[in-house]
A and B are shown apart, each in its own frame.
Chain A
Amino acid sequence: AQRVTQPEKLLSVFKGAPVELKCNYSYSGSPELFWYVQYSRQRLQLLLRHISRESIKGFTADLNKGETSFHLKKPFAQEEDSAMYYCAQGTGANNLFFGTGTRLTVIP
């Protein structure tokens, strides 16, 4: 069965500090993994996907198949990064299985 685990419901960091949001997924061949973000009063939106290997808003995420992880990282957190972050795994039918989310608060 699909499983996406985000162990931290809440995470607080100071502005300028590094941040890492953890995500572990269940093995399923070649996984498609995504990070979605929801800023206050905004819609859920795609932040990044592993196949594009790009950096968005300073965030990166590396797929580690050995550890079945897809942690989201940013070297220097900004106040505008405060949001709800969801890790999601794509399924064969091109839909998404979401984790429970981590609320990131960046303290000024």
Chain B
Amino acid sequence: EAGVAQSPRYKIIEKRQSVAFWCNPISGHATLYWYQQILGQGPKLLIQFQNNGVVDDSQLPKDRFSAERLKGVDSTLKIQPAKLEDSAVYLCASSLGLAGGEQYFGPGTRLTVT
């Protein structure tokens, strides 16, 4: 089966610009996650969707970050405006949504904000 797809793989922007990331989960996976991984740290959950509804966005900086999963499949994560501290790898993951279930990760998008 095809894995989680993400694009772009790399992005360099200047601070105060905006950027968008795209994720296509594994077919049939109801739950989709966006994680932020800053260099030297573990992934940190930004937002979790169950189908097209938000389950957890408690750690999403809502003044600049937004995410949507309108049709319950693909998802986009946007940052507007970007700050230097947003430089990180943004990981998308999906799962069947069962408790204790495995999450399948995409390759990530490496964002550099200059």
Contacts and interface: CB of A to CB of B under 8 A. Distances in A.
Given A32-B100, A43-B3, A51-B100, A96 B45 contact: yes
Contacts of A32: 99-100
Given A98-B42, A98-B44, A46 B103 contact: yes
A94 interface: yes
Interface residues of B, number: 28
Contacts of A51: 100
Given A44-B91, A100-B41, A93 B100 contact: no
Interface in B3-60: 3-4, 31, 33, 40-45, 48, 55-56
Contacts of A49: 100, 102
Contact of A46 (B4, B31, B56, B102): B102
A97 interface: yes
Interface residues of A, number: 21
Contacts of B31: 94
Interface string B101-114: 11111111000000
Q: Among the interface residues A43, A45, A94, which one has the most CB atoms of the partner chain B within 10 A?
A: A94
Nearest to B103: A96
B106 A43 contact: yes
Given A43-B106, A45-B105, A49-B100, A99 B42 contact: yes
B97 interface: yes
6 contacts: A44-B93, A46-B103, A88-B42, A94-B99, A98-B43, A98-B44
A9 B42 CA distance: 11
Contacts of B93: 44
A38 to B, nearest CB: 9
Contacts of A45: 104-105
B43 A93 contact: no
A5 to B, nearest CB: 11
Given A93-B55, A94-B100, A100-B40, 10 more contacts: A43-B105, A43-B106, A49-B100, A86-B43, A94-B55, A94-B95, A94-B99, A94-B101, A95-B45, A101-B41
